[in-house]
Amino acid sequence: MRYGFLAAAWLAACASSPAGAADCNRQAFASCQACHALTTDAGQKPGPQLVGIAGRPVAGDPSFDYSPQLQAARANGDRWTRERLDTFLSDPQALYPGTWMGSPPIRDAKQRADLLCVLDRP
């Protein structure tokens, strides 16, 4: 009985505190921050806000004026799965040729994994 209670308390504790962005290497996002915010109240930036980007439709920030390429991807029903985010970050122009995101490809898989950790749990 006692152990059952402890197990339940432990499970409840885990459920109420899922791994947060604090567990990610937030430093990975430093180079993105000039253009992107992970909140909706950061004001205008050169790029769209990335709140809840994992699972969001492509070109999903209603207040951002996207390139024709990303708008077409949205019309096509594309969503930001983890795989698509990973592919995009490894080479934005290869996935969506002509995208206005001018930041360089991230070839380092560990760096992309760190970024996905931050993007998945803002």
* Lookup: tokens for 58: 């492509």
Of these, 21, 25, 35, 51, which contacts ligand HEC (CB under 6 A)? 35
Residues 6+ apart with CB under 8 A from 119: 29, 38, 50, 53, 54, 85
For residue 68, with 0-12 CB atoms within 10 Å meaning exposed, 13-18 middle and 19 or more buried, which class applies? Answer: exposed
Stretch that binds ligand HEC, among 2-10, 18-26, 65-73 (CB under 6 A): 65-73
Chain centroid, CA 3 distance in Å: 39
Q: Does 116 bind ligand HEC (CB under 6 A)?
A: no
Q: Which CB, 17 or 44, lies closer to ligand HEC?
A: 44
Q: Which CB, 23 or 108, lies closer to ligand HEC?
A: 108
How many whole angstroms separate alpha carbon 76 and alpha carbon 70?
10
Q: Does 48 bind ligand HEC (CB under 6 A)?
A: yes
Q: Which residues here bind ligand HEC, judged by CB under 6 A? A: 31-32, 34-36, 46-48, 50, 53, 58-61, 66-67, 69-70, 85, 88-89, 99-103, 115
